[in-house]
Amino acid sequence: MILAYKPSEKVKHGFEETRLNIAPVMNLMVVLIPLLLSSAEFVRLSVIELNLPPAALGPEGEQLNNLPEEEQRKLDLTVTITDRGFFISSAMAVLGGEKEGEPTIPLSGDMYDFEALAEKLYEIKTKAGDRFTDSEHIIIMAEPEIDYQTIVSTMDASRSIRINGENQALFPIVSLSAGIL
Amino acid sequence: MAIRPSIRKKHKTDPGEAHLQLTSMMDMFTIILVFLLKTYSTHGQLINPSADLTLPTSVIQHLPEQGLDVTVSMDWILVNGSPVEKTVNVASMDGYMIPALRQELRKYADEALKMEELYGVKFSGKVTIQGDKKLPYKLLMKVMATCGQTDYPNMRLVVYQEEG
């Protein structure tokens, strides 16, 4: 049998370009994406914990706390939020501002200056050190018309401060005081 | 010619499958997938934020827990979804107590105490307070005082978590 052509001259068929079949990947996406979408959390909720002493224990609780006052040195650090700024006070004195009767940290522009508050509290924390029994406590008081967001942000500013990228604890135990109604 | 042209098949080549251009859609789906993987969370939803109020933002990171739900929006005060008192009425009240709220909380507290007796499920006294971020402080104080007086001293204030 004579070949019509030399084997070396056989024309090789060009390889047909095989297209990448995307359909199986799309199957996967169509299943995964709605699944993840239903369990996605775009806004995270968290809670601030405030525990009041139980009402029933009121009178008895006071008796238990009747330790000799001279041995306890309390700082009683209080931040009062007014519409003119923050007043910082303690059991000893009110930390004055620039002038007599001015808030310790006045409003900057029209907004409350939380960074300045945090820095001031850091100063106080480093100076107070360990000398007081309640050096982790801070009391927040506010005028009746102050809005909720300001109070929450003040609580944030008093709990910790971010220095050089690290979070330093300031006064983690925050309590709200009734103030004047 | 040996064959007539019309008998010959018109289209010798098989048109083949329709090639749908899916590569760009796949790029987009990959990006969406990566984003959703990042926001994936297994916590589930314990608290349903109410639609008509804007919660304040905070950097705190404690997770919410199950508890009685008190929602204080600018118009109404609701306990577990049912309206209890109009906010404007509360603002003009004297003293620290809100009677309607106190009644409602008392009902829930009594029920929970009964459950504790019957089944031994400890009454946690937890109440979850959702408040609009523009609420005045005195309103918040009244709500918290009322909760404290009706056996719900452990309050949890719900906030949106912000970065940093």
DSSP string, B70-83: EEE-SSEEEETTEE
The answer to whether the CB of B56 falls within 8 A of the CB of B160 is: yes
Q: Nearest by CB to A48, which of B36, B58, B133? A: B58
How far lies A64's CA from each of A40, A57, A146, B151, in Å? Answer: 49, 10, 35, 21
> Partners of A65 in the beta sheet?
none
- Per-residue pLDDT at A156 exceeds 50: yes
The nearest alpha carbon in chain A to B48 belongs to A45
Between strands B154-161 and B126-131, the pairing is parallel
Q: Enumerate the domain spans of chain B.
A: 57-161
Q: Give the pLDDT band of residue A31 (cuts 50, 70, 90).
A: very high
Distance from the Cα of A85 to chain B's closest Cα (Å) equals 15
pTM of structure: 0.73
Q: Give the pLDDT band of residue A51 (cuts 50, 70, 90).
A: confident
Residue-wise pLDDT tens digits, B132-150: 888 888 888 888 888 888 8
The answer to whether the CB of A153 falls within 8 A of the CB of A114 is: yes
Report the C-alpha gap between B160 and B111 in whole angstroms: 31
Indicate if the alpha-carbon torsion angle A160, B138, A146, A46 is positive or negative. positive
B37: part of which helix (H) or strand (E)?
helix B23-38
CATH number, domain B57-161, options 3.40.1130, 3.40.50, 3.30.420, 3.30.1330: 3.30.420
- Per-residue pLDDT at A65 exceeds 50: no
Task: Show residues of chain A in contact with B58, CB under 8 Å.
Answer: 46, 48, 152-153, 155-156
Residue-wise pLDDT tens digits, A109-139: 778 888 888 888 888 888 877 777 777 888 8
Task: Show residues of chain B in contact with A172, CB under 8 Å.
Answer: none
Q: Establish whether this prediction's ipTM goes over 0.90.
A: no
Q: Give the pLDDT band of residue A30 (cuts 50, 70, 90).
A: very high
Between strands B154-161 and B57-58, the pairing is parallel
The nearest alpha carbon in chain B to A36 belongs to B36
Residue-wise pLDDT tens digits, A76-85: 788 888 888 8
Contact yes or no for B33 and A42 at CB 8 A:
no
Output the pLDDT for position A55: 56
How far lies B109's CA from each of A14, A30, A133, B79, B84, in Å? Answer: 83, 48, 35, 12, 16
Q: Nearest by CB to B137, which of A23, A55, A144? A: A144
The answer to whether the CB of A113 falls within 8 A of the CB of A159 is: no
Residue A28: CB partners within 8 Å, gap ≥ 6?
A: none
Report the C-alpha gap between B148 and B102 in whole angstroms: 10
Task: Show residues of chain B in contact with A48, CB under 8 Å.
Answer: 58, 60, 62, 156-157, 159
